[in-house]
Amino acid sequence: MEFCKGDLVVCTAGREKDRLMCVADFDGKYVYVCDGKERKFNNPKRKNPKHVVKTEKQLSDNMFSTDRALRKALSKEV
C-alpha cells in the first residue's frame, strides 16, 4: 500500500489504536504519523504500514502546516 503526505489513517495497533492520524512522511518501509497533540509534526511516530488503515480522506498542505491547524483539521474529520 502506498501512502502520501497528508493522508488520513487510523492506527490499528499500539498505544494509538483506533486514533485518527495524519501521514507526515512515508519512506517505503515505515509510515510516520502525527496528530498535533500527542505526536507533534516535528516528532512523528514511526509505524509499520501493516498497523495503519488508510482512509479515503486527505489533508491539503496548509491544513497540517502547524500542529494547531492539524488538530483543528482532525477534529473536523472525527
pLDDT digits (tens, 9 = 90+) for 25-65: 999 899 999 999 999 989 999 999 999 999 999 998 878 78
Q: Which phi and psi (to 5°) does residue 26 adopt?
A: -145, 125
Enumerate the domain spans of the chain: 7-63
Average pLDDT, the chain: 91
7-63, CATH topology level: SH3 type barrels. (2.30.30)
**Is pLDDT at 77 greater than 90 in this prediction?**
no
Residue 1 has a pLDDT of 75
Neighbour count for residue 45 (Cβ, 10 Å):
19
Q: Which phi and psi (to 5°) does residue 37 adopt?
A: -115, -70
pTM, two decimal places: 0.89
Residue 31 has a pLDDT of 96
Alpha carbons 36 and 66: distance in angstroms, whole number? 8
